[in-house]
Chains A and B, each alone.
Chain A
Amino acid sequence: MRASRNGNIWQHVDWITIGLFLLLALFGWLNIYGASYTFDQTGIFDFSNRAGKQFAWLMGSLALGIFLLLIDYKTYDVLTYFAYGAMLLLLLATPFLAHDIKGSMSWISLGPVSLQPAEFAKCVVALTIAKYMGRYDYKIRTWRDLIVPFAIIGVPALIIMVLQKETGSALVFASFLLVFYRQGMSGYVLWMGVAAVALFIISIRFGGVPLPLGTGSVGILTCMLVLTAVEIYFLCKEHYIRYQALIMISSVVAVYAICLIVNIWIAVPFDWVAMGVVLALIGYNTFISLYWRKYMLLFVAAFTLLCIGYTHACDFVFQKVLQPHQRIRIEVLLGMKEDPAGAGYNVNQARIAIGSGRFFGKGYLKGTQTKLQFVPEQDTDFIFCTVGEEWGFVGSVAVLLVYLVFILRLIFIAERQRNITTRIYAYAVAGIFLFHLTINVGMVLGLLPVIGIPLPFFSYGGSSLWGFTLLLFILLRLDAARMEQLN
């Protein structure tokens, strides 16, 4: 019985995904050799260099993958909660066992190798979320239903962020929002997230800058007001609220247009005008809602006030809560600071490395930027530079497209599951890979702030490779079991 089941595994396992995985991992390994290659370089299999070590990790990861496929799929389900508990303990213990590596307390030394438990936490959290939300009686009806899932991801995220000081690894848990969304969480949450980020960027970027329409924060208030109105217009289905939102947008635009024209002859105090417009609109909304007894409009007014508060909160978070190095990274990204020798150094060198690759790249092992170590962390977080420099536009786009196909394949796998638990888990895996790809490549391309998380299968490091292997092969095992469950 057991033998036949094991025989089935190789028929049911998704070879396309395994193929994509091998493609990415091998190409990644080549690039690690490229990134750590120097002129007195030994061979690619020499275990004293990083490519050699990565090869060992890669072999280990294949062994791990085969092992994971051979295990009975039910084992995962059985072990999930225990694993979650054990993981929490391990994460809690890590800061005490770890030694400080560049301010991060997330590495545990086991003889010659160091492991980062946070990399394995993703997998366990994904399984736990899947198991919890996959229960037949679980449905997202109100926000209360999301409390437990948020706690499941929130607790390890907090431990990793606060105790281990690994912001990047903690942020990965945000990718579970996609899972929740798929499971029925309101799309507004995603929209709110986007809007919050947009407002954050606007208020940080333009907070102290004199804008053409009034200086600094009051200019922001107006932008925010327009943004709020736009948001309300698209989010709210009730006509009269949409109508009010339209009034808000058009009256702000009209007032400013008039002021601009008047400004030709008489200098207009835009700060006061903005303040007046904001107050007038809030007052108008309040009045109308009380008059018509449409309290939804009161919500609009309140929401506007909330946004004003949020803008100021952003400023506070940015100035007081964020670490100085994080603040500088964001400032550099938003073009508020030029610091090519300091915080902007990585990003600038990465841009030069990728840009100088041009269309076809400089050729394998011929990139000067990466060979000569101009890009820091080039074999870990900044590995994509090597791809860009040596393989050019062609190679970079190819890698991105393979990733895209890989992620779409994971979504495809997710949707073919009859077992909801497996589907949720598959979405979690797809989300985690998408998040890593987005943050890592976005950072290297200078589109996102520098957040140190690895590019799956590319970045050097055993923990991350094995962590991703764990994620992926458990999914493949569960996927292969979808036939067994029918029988």
Chain B
Amino acid sequence: MINDKYYNRRYVISGIAVVIVLVYIIRLFYLQIIDQSTKDQADNNALVKQTIYPSRGLIYDRNGELLVFNQPIYEITMTMREMGKDWDTTAFCATLSITRAEFDGRIAEIKDRRKNRGYSRWTPQVFMSQLKKEDIATIQESLFLFPGIQIRKRTLRDYTYKAAAHVLGSVGEVNQNDIDRDPYYSRGDYSGRDGLERTYEKELRGEKGMEVLMRDVRGRIKGSYQDGELDVTAKAGTDLHTTLDIKLQLLAEELLAGKIGSAVAIEPKTGEILALVSNPSWNPKVLVGKDRSKNYNALLKDPTKPLMNRATQAMYPPGSTFKTVQALVCLEQGGITPNTLYPCSGPGSKPIKCTHHHGSPVALDKAIEQSCNPYFWCAFRDLMEKDGYGKDNEAFRRRYELWRETVMSFGLGQKFTDTDLSEQSSGSIPSTRLFDKFYGKTGWKAITIRSLSIGQGEILATPLQLANQAAAIANEGYYITPHLNKNDSMQTHRHEIAIQKKHFEAVKDGMHRVMVYGTGRHYAIDTLHMAGKTGTAQNPHGRDHAIFIGFAPVENPQIAVAVVVENAGFGATWACPVASMMIEQYLTGEMKRKDLKNRIASAVLNESVKKW
């Protein structure tokens, strides 16, 4: 209408519409372009990152024998929200053969947010865990009767043999420390807690995968996001081939039953550990699954300390086994020659009496064979006093320092740092400083430290170190760091000993004589050409420790062994037969001396040693 005076109001009304749409476009611009927070919020809403657990690497022995594998276990989960009113609790309890009270108790636990912080009615909650396949067989068949119930699969460790618990270690749930240290872990993950499982955790665990799933507002999973484009496949863990010979390990464990002690066998040429036994031990299966922490605590409380790996952690005075090292150092540093003779007055000898009866004077081979204390005292004294004592005892102290350095080059008195053995003690070769502290710089002479000459006193060594010492003698001048991973060639980890090769012949000869004429003669097998040295270590904990180190065959050593039986008495009686049988087992592939085996295996020297 031309004469409509309100005609212009069309523009006002149109303007209102334009302004409103403009305001909304500005708001959209703010929400969709400027405000960055909503993208993450939407992802948090809708996306669930579900971890896919890789299967842990298997562990084999040196001959490809499977030692550790994975067993599937099952968890029964329930989503409360999906359990309707007519949900048949009675039938459910019957299927799982649990009582109604147990059921109610568990439900109360699940719903208790103090105990179960992640509780939600919408998401699956673990009702029962660590179930075996046979446990879930019945429920699996009738799963359709119970809406909201799901079965989830995880894996646990399982073991072919009840052996090598200390070496293999165990797997357990990570704690907060692990999570803080390594972002790879999250709550509920498993990781190697000790032994090889811990050392090779990174290799064994593989890499977790991730599946990005979408969930709806009810928390129900609605399939994979963007057709799985963001998913990461899990990478299975790498298998570990160990250097262990499981047959040798089993034999040694059997022989040490009823005793506290350890046995270590090493292949001298390679440093590969063939057996590493610490008794008391436990069946590795007891530290798996739902009883893990219960059993672990029981092991912890056992007064015989089974959790301690005595083979690498216990420190003993090496006793007479140390005379082999002593002889080598004295030969090298000019105290004696193989033909040097020293007199022995038997038990009447001073300052150290001899525990054996033999002719006098003796040379080195005989001295080792008969483990003659006076011989080694004299040789040690002569070496220490070679340059006299000098001003302020300096010459003597320098001699001692040199002696100590050489002894330590056998791997004694220190941890093997370049190895895959996790728990070790360093042992002890006393330092000049220690004696200075005790006696003052000028207050100690050769006579003061005479016990060292026969491996007593302040010297301490672990069975592993003793075995390594035997290997070093077998190798005539070097050792390869003892280790457990077969795939890892350790030839570059060769440690030279500061003793010329020529000196070893006499010592090896002496050690061979031990097994032919000496303290070890009862347990020798002629064809195997064993060499060894017994030791009977005095200690403040009761009866002497029985110790033995040895290797065989003398000409081309394949195996070096150290055995310690705590508070057992003579090394020749308890340690030597164990080592001898281990050598036979390893070199011939079987152990024929069944009677001897039964006698040693059935001997209970310590009543409190339990079989776990």
Residues in A lying within 8 Å of B, measured CB to CB: 38-39, 178, 181-184, 187, 349, 351-359, 368-369, 371-374, 388-389, 392-393, 396-397, 400-401, 403-404, 407-408, 411, 414-415, 418, 420, 427, 430-431, 434, 437-438, 441-442, 445-447
Q: Which residues of B contact A407 (CB under 8 A)?
A: 17
Report the bound CA distance from A418 to B1 in whole Å.
7
Report the bound CA distance from A418 to B184 in whole Å.
77
Tell whether A372 pairs with B46 under 8 Å between CB atoms, given A182-B9, A393-B28, A411-B10.
Answer: yes
Q: Which residues of A contact B222 (CB under 8 A)?
A: 38-39, 371-372
Of residues 11 through 27 on chain B, the ones whose CB sits less than 8 Å from some CB of chain A are: 12-14, 16-18, 20-21, 23-25, 27
Q: Which residues of A contact B41 (CB under 8 A)?
A: 352, 355-356
Q: Which residues of B contact A354 (CB under 8 A)?
A: 28, 31-32, 38
A397 x B42 contact (CB < 8 A): no
Q: How far is the CB of A368 from chain B (nearest CB, A)?
A: 4
A181, A184, A445: the one contacting B28 at CB < 8 Å is A445
A368-B214, A404-B21 provided; 18 other pairs, C-beta below 8 A?
A: A182-B6, A352-B41, A355-B32, A358-B39, A368-B225, A372-B46, A372-B216, A372-B217, A397-B28, A403-B21, A408-B18, A411-B10, A415-B7, A434-B16, A437-B20, A442-B24, A446-B27, A447-B23
B16 x A355 contact (CB < 8 A): no
Q: Which residues of B contact A397 (CB under 8 A)?
A: 25, 28
Report the bound CA distance from A352 to B255 in whole Å.
70
Q: Which residues of B contact A182 (CB under 8 A)?
A: 6, 9-10, 13
B33 within 8 A of A: yes
Report the bound CA distance from A359 to B10 in whole Å.
34
- A392 to B, closest residue via Cβ: B32
B223 within 8 A of A: yes
Q: How far is the CB of A322 from chain B (nearest CB, A)?
A: 24
Interface residue total, chain B, C-beta cutoff 8 A:
41
Report the bound CA distance from A415 to B218 in whole Å.
52
Q: Can you list 21 A-B contacts (CB < 8 A)?
A: A178-B16, A182-B13, A183-B6, A352-B41, A352-B42, A353-B42, A354-B31, A355-B31, A355-B35, A356-B42, A357-B32, A359-B32, A373-B217, A388-B31, A397-B28, A400-B24, A401-B21, A411-B14, A431-B13, A434-B20, A445-B31
The winner among B16, B21, B225 for most chain A CB atoms within 10 A is B21
B6, B32, B38: the one contacting A184 at CB < 8 Å is B6
Q: Which residues of A contact B32 (CB under 8 A)?
A: 354-355, 357-359, 388, 392-393, 396
Q: Which residues of A contact B37 (CB under 8 A)?
A: 355
Report the bound CA distance from A354 to B35 in whole Å.
11
The winner among B20, B43, B215 for most chain A CB atoms within 10 A is B20
B45 within 8 A of A: yes
B1, B21, B28, B43: the one contacting A388 at CB < 8 Å is B28
Q: Which residues of A contact B25 (CB under 8 A)?
A: 397, 400
Contact mask B90-133 → A, CB, 8 Å, 1/0? 00000000000000000000000000000000000000000000
Tell whether A447 pairs with B27 under 8 Å between CB atoms, given A358-B32, A373-B217.
Answer: yes
Report the bound CA distance from A392 to B214 in whole Å.
20
- B215 to A, closest residue via Cβ: A372
B439 within 8 A of A: no
B612 within 8 A of A: no
The winner among A359, A396, A430, A446 for most chain B CB atoms within 10 A is A396
B14 x A408 contact (CB < 8 A): yes
Q: How far is the CB of B530 from chain A (nearest CB, A)?
A: 73
Q: Which residues of B contact A404 (CB under 8 A)?
A: 17-18, 21
Q: How far is the CB of A438 from chain B (nearest CB, A)?
A: 5
B217 x A368 contact (CB < 8 A): no
Q: Which residues of B contact A411 (CB under 8 A)?
A: 10, 13-14, 17
A183, A358, A401: the one contacting B33 at CB < 8 Å is A358
A369 x B13 contact (CB < 8 A): no
B24 x A356 contact (CB < 8 A): no
Report the bound CA distance from A404 to B14 in whole Å.
9
Q: How far is the CB of A401 from chain B (nearest CB, A)?
A: 7
Q: Which residues of A contact B161 (CB under 8 A)?
A: none
Report the bound CA distance from A390 to B45 in whole Å.
16
B20 x A181 contact (CB < 8 A): no
Of residues 304 through 321 on chain B, the ones whose CB sits less than 8 Å from some CB of chain A are: none
Q: How far is the CB of B340 from chain A (nearest CB, A)?
A: 88
- B31 to A, closest residue via Cβ: A355
- B10 to A, closest residue via Cβ: A415
Q: Which residues of B contact A445 (CB under 8 A)?
A: 24, 27-28, 31
Q: How far is the CB of A366 from chain B (nearest CB, A)?
A: 8
Tell whether A393 pairs with B33 under 8 Å between CB atoms, given A372-B216, A372-B222.
Answer: yes
Report the bound CA distance from A358 to B37 in whole Å.
11
Report the bound CA distance from A186 to B33 in whole Å.
40
Q: How far is the CB of A355 from chain B (nearest CB, A)?
A: 3
Report the bound CA distance from A374 to B47 in whole Å.
12
Report the bound CA distance from A388 to B41 in whole Å.
15
- A375 to B, closest residue via Cβ: B217
B38 x A427 contact (CB < 8 A): no
Report the bound CA distance from A396 to B23 in whole Å.
13
- B27 to A, closest residue via Cβ: A445
Report the bound CA distance from A368 to B214 in whole Å.
8
Q: How far is the CB of A356 from chain B (nearest CB, A)?
A: 3
Q: How far is the CB of A345 from chain B (nearest CB, A)?
A: 10
Of residues 471 through 509 on chain B, the ones whose CB sits less than 8 Å from some CB of chain A are: none
B13 x A356 contact (CB < 8 A): no
Q: How far is the CB of A358 from chain B (nearest CB, A)?
A: 6
